[in-house]
Chain A
């Protein structure tokens, strides 16, 4: 197992503490501080600026996956008529709502408000509808129209629509939490978010170094704060510290792997339930995931204009809200810049918006870069369809293929 070979980061305890604090704060929030359940792509800066505590059911879903609690919670949801073909994050969440006692951390605290933003998928709309019914909590939907255009630019009316909704969202939150938004606080929060995003970008970019200072699992673990603590000072401090440590590794040519022989790109959400086991199969071959499309999702464009309009643009343009042509181009670009030898795509049963189109993206990217791609079938949260033996065989074939390539 990779445990012995895994190089722990000095900032790992800080990361752990941040997450623990986040969940602890959530547990203790009531009655003083209102809690908002928010989706990972929601414009949380507004929530933070109002001093409402955001809680992330998707992050909790990943936690359930890592802790092996997903299957049990999904069963609870399925017993209530939820199809086993639905997203496993959402099913775990529904399971948790109905059986918090048996859920990790005793479940999430109940939401005072729910904010769902459709920029990542259509599932979050339905998931949050279910949560709203369960908790009788008011629901706000941020509808971010999908971008099919090849240039990845939203239409002006889409941006206008989202901006108008964000104004409404402010009013909604003010009403339901009896708070008033201060423009200065919003600007400050957006600034903090922007700074953290910038630092996270730098951390990821340092993996262009040979050898890479980080491997895939590091990226997945360390992206948590940018998702759940974006807009806070703690988030900025963490990424400053992480960036410093990574710079040091790069300066001393410290490699994430014992020996980096191959550089790979990863596409789609991590396989949470077998995180280290899965990636250790690649470590066997000296293959390091130096870059991925998932954690890059939080390297958002924040253009620093008028905050509401700027947020509208930022959140409409997240990568999952863009068509496969843009995503293929971005992937090819990453492959070139990070000097990648091959790429691995996780065809994730639970995530249709991320997975549908992968077959075409794979073809286009190989055409454009000449690099081969491997497709792995699994689920980000539900372990019941994970076949380790079959997957190992496919990895072996792929890595042997890479080994036999010239140059």
Chain B
């Protein structure tokens, strides 16, 4: 049984952690209101930061040999050091990746930063991360990505809740288990609803099933998503030839971005429009966590792009758990609106 190392953001290079002999698992917020985290994090930080750290403070993450951060937003940037201050013996590292992904120097910098991270792992745990181990881990993770992509291609056969559970479980499961145990993606899927209303979901992460449950109840179909722990997770494979660290860096710099990174001014808007059009979706639901600045910043330009194409959209701003009544009435009204217009 391998030791686990936790991470919060999917920009963390799982292959490197895996090649070092650990099982990378995503730490996810749960639905218990934080009690201890408030002594370290202000109320105006997102529930993801507060819930994950609260679990650590409550001793729920004691089986982790370490926690790895990737540079994303200001809150998680601060949380990395707060975590280290509370757990001085724990391996807490941040892979400070580039933000300016369009810069011709970003890749070179990231390669050096990844090598530094490798050295930090090796030093702390007394292990050696070989190129062969890296290549093996890369192959494993690519298989995982392909498996998830296959599942996605068949999402019309699944309910939204099933989709949610598969994605959520996947990131908490060591990759070889997903590859070995295909049954995690059921062989005999339950057919999805016959509703004609198809929705694209977009946001940072989705960590609890209230929204998918309501969509299933209302008979709407999720045809695509742009979530960190959704479609963006398995976007783009790592090259299996050449220097493995370079290959991992290349993937990070080229794969679909979240708002914390800059590629081009209209990149995310264009991507969203393509996702909607390619999937012939009827509408877009923005699923934002309260106090998530990067996604809140992208909301005006993304909605402007959707308005330009007369694509209806809805914003749900949630804290730890989407409130059922309030979420439901909005979704119902949104679907009624789309229905009436058809």
Which positions in A face B, CB cutoff 8 Å? Answer: 80-83, 85-87, 118, 121-123, 125-127, 129-130, 132-133, 139, 141-143, 145-146, 148, 155-158, 160-161, 164-165, 168, 323-325, 347, 349, 352-353, 355-360, 364
Contacts and interface: CB of A to CB of B under 8 A. Distances in A.
Contacts of B109: 145, 157-158, 160-161
15 contacts: A80-B300, A85-B296, A122-B73, A125-B99, A133-B265, A133-B301, A145-B71, A148-B96, A157-B112, A323-B81, A352-B74, A353-B74, A356-B41, A357-B81, A359-B40
Contacts of B113: 145, 155, 157-158
Contacts of A121: 74
B98 A325 contact: no
Contacts, number: 150
Contact of A123 (B74, B86, B103, B298): B74
A56 to B, nearest CB: 20
Nearest to B269: A133
Interface in B282-300: 290-291, 293-294, 296-300
B296 A352 contact: no
A81 B300 contact: yes
Given A145-B71, A352-B293, 9 more contacts: A125-B99, A129-B297, A129-B301, A132-B265, A141-B99, A141-B103, A143-B100, A148-B94, A364-B85
A360 to B, nearest CB: 5
Contacts of A118: 99
Interface string B106-129: 101100110010000000000000
A127 B74 CA distance: 14
Contacts of A158: 96, 109, 113
B265 A126 contact: no
Given A133-B301, A158-B96, A158-B109, A324 B290 contact: no
A382 to B, nearest CB: 12
Given A139-B265, A356-B41, A126 B85 contact: no
Given A158-B96, A325-B81, A122 B42 contact: no
B74 A168 contact: no
B259 A356 contact: no
B301 A86 contact: no
Contacts of B108: 157, 161, 164
B196 interface: no
A362 to B, nearest CB: 10
Contact of B82 (A87, A127, A360): A360
B188 to A, nearest CB: 43
Interface in B74-97: 74-75, 77-82, 84-86, 94, 96
B165 interface: no
Interface string B278-320: 0000000000001101101111110100000000000001000
A349 B105 contact: no
Nearest to A167: B105
Contacts of B262: 125, 129, 141
Interface residues of B, number: 50
A325 B290 CA distance: 28
B300 A359 contact: no
A74 to B, nearest CB: 14
A123 B298 CA distance: 11
Contacts of B80: 148, 323
A349 B45 CA distance: 9
Contacts of A168: 103-105
A357 B78 CA distance: 6
Contacts of B106: 143, 161
Contacts of A347: 42
A194 B281 CA distance: 57
A123 to B, nearest CB: 6
A218 B84 CA distance: 36
B115 to A, nearest CB: 9
A358 B43 CA distance: 13
A126 B77 contact: no
A123 B299 CA distance: 14
A152 B75 CA distance: 19
B78 A356 contact: yes
A234 B103 CA distance: 35
A142 B301 CA distance: 22
B150 to A, nearest CB: 35
Nearest to A123: B293
A122 B78 contact: no
A142 B300 CA distance: 24
B260 interface: yes
Contacts of B44: 85, 349, 352
A269 to B, nearest CB: 14
B39 interface: yes
B226 to A, nearest CB: 17
Contacts of A324: 78, 81-82, 85
B116 A155 contact: yes
A122 B104 CA distance: 20
B300 A126 contact: no
A43 B112 CA distance: 24
A148 to B, nearest CB: 5
A268 to B, nearest CB: 12
A168 B113 CA distance: 21
A148 B293 contact: no
Nearest to B93: A148
A146 B71 contact: yes
